[in-house]
Amino acid sequence: MAEVVLFHHVQGLTSGVVAFADELRAVGHTVHTPDLFDGRTFGSLEEGTAYVRQVGFGEVTARGVRAADALPRDVVHAGFSLGVVPAQELAQTRAGARGALLMHACIPVSEFGAAWPAGVPVQVHAMKDDAFFAEDAEAARALVAGSLDAELFLYPGEQHLFADSSLPSYDPDAAMLLTRRAVEFLDVLDGDGRDPR
């Protein structure tokens, strides 16, 4: 089974992020969920963003990178929104990365190197009319255009954190489809392509 490190979004390691990880675990994958906020969660994007500004965006990202130091190198790096930043940095710069799942965000590849690394498959998931993803959409399309191993999935709607079941923005239909695609992605990386359920 694949091993995954999943980084949470700006509202913290919510029960919805843990539930997503549990769905991947339920089909046999190992999922690590580092808490970059030391147990804090926030009731809104604005509160979480204020906390990140206070701590420092670079420090939060560095916490994610340090959390991966204790893990094997051949993991899949995954993130929800803010968590995409350390996930994408690790996928692009850490030798041995198996793949990346970037949910609700995508950073220009040039932030972490000249190109997406060959042989590291990646999926990007977001809602088509998500205002927060609007700036990231160009980066996601460029990533897909520049890599044979990249896929972009756009879901109907405008919610940002639609895959977090603990938030009002949760969209069960889109989240179920995202989860199915993520599981299929991990199953292929596992090498057998079989659904272990």
What is the rounded CA–CA span in Å between residue 81 and residue 74?
Answer: 22
The 10s digit of each residue's pLDDT in 1-59 is 899 999 999 999 999 999 999 999 999 999 999 999 999 999 999 999 999 999 999 99
In this prediction the pTM is 0.94
Is residue 197 in a domain? no
Q: Where in the sequence is the domain holding 116, given as residue range(s)? A: 3-190
The tokens for 40 are: 């804090």
The pLDDT value given to residue 113: 82
Using CA atoms, how far residue 102 sits from 43, 51, 150, 173, 189, in Å, is 23, 22, 11, 18, 16
Whether residue 192 is predicted with pLDDT greater than 80 in this model: the reply is no
Does a structural domain hold residue 160? yes
**Domain-located, residue 39:** yes
User: Is 27 domain-assigned?
Assistant: yes
Tell me if 101 is assigned to some domain: yes
Q: Could you tell me if residue 117 is inside a domain?
A: yes
Where does the pLDDT of residue 197 fall: very low under 50, low under 70, confident under 90, or very high at 90 and above?
very low
Q: Is residue 99 part of a domain?
A: yes
Q: What is the per-residue pLDDT for 191?
A: 63
Per-residue DSSP letters for 70-92? TS-SS-EEEEEGGGHHHHHHHHH
With a cut of 60, say whether residue 194 has pLDDT above it.
no
Q: Please give the pLDDT value at position 189.
A: 87
Number of structural domains the chain divides into: 1
Rounded CA gap, 4 and 30, in Å?
6
- The beta strands (E) that lie in the chain are given as 3-7, 30-32, 76-80, 99-103, 122-127, 150-155
Q: pLDDT band for position 193 (50/70/90)?
A: very low
pLDDT attached to residue 182? 97
Which residues pair with residue 155 across a beta bridge? 127
What pLDDT, on the 0 to 100 scale, is given for residue 101?
Answer: 98
CATH of the domain at 85: 3.40.50.1820
Give the span between the Cα atoms of 61 and 58, in whole angstroms. 5
Q: How many beta carbons lie within 10 A of that of residue 152, not counting itself?
A: 17
What are the pLDDT digits (tens) for 99-153? Answer: 999 999 999 999 998 789 999 999 999 999 999 999 899 999 999 998 889 999 9
